[in-house]
Amino acid sequence: MGTMTRLKDHEDENGQINWGSYRKAQIANGEICTSCGAYVVFGKGYPEECSSCKDMSSNTGEVDHETHIRCPACAHIFDADKYEIDPVEGETSVYCPECDYDFDVSIEVTFKYTSPPLLEKNGEREEDDDDDEDGTEEGIEANTSDKPPT
Residues near Zn ion, by CB under 5 A: 33, 35-36, 38, 50, 53, 71, 73-74, 76, 96, 98-99, 101
Taking the complex as a whole, the smallest distance from the CB of residue 2 to Zn ion amounts, in Å, to 19
Separation CA 59–CA 36 (nearest Å): 17
Taking the complex as a whole, the smallest distance from the CB of residue 5 to Zn ion amounts, in Å, to 17
Closest residue by Cα to residue 81 from 62, 94, 64: 94
Which residues, other chains included, contact 92 with Cβ-Cβ below 8 Å and sequence gap of 6+? 85, 86, 104, 105, 107
Taking the complex as a whole, the smallest distance from the CB of residue 33 to Zn ion amounts, in Å, to 3
Taking the complex as a whole, the smallest distance from the CB of residue 93 to Zn ion amounts, in Å, to 14
In the complex with Zn ion, the residue whose CB is nearer, 11 or 67, is: 67
Whole-number Cα distances in Å, 17 to 4, 11, 24, 38, 40: 16, 4, 13, 20, 22
In the complex with Zn ion, the residue whose CB is nearer, 25 or 69, is: 69
In the complex with Zn ion, the residue whose CB is nearer, 10 or 65, is: 65
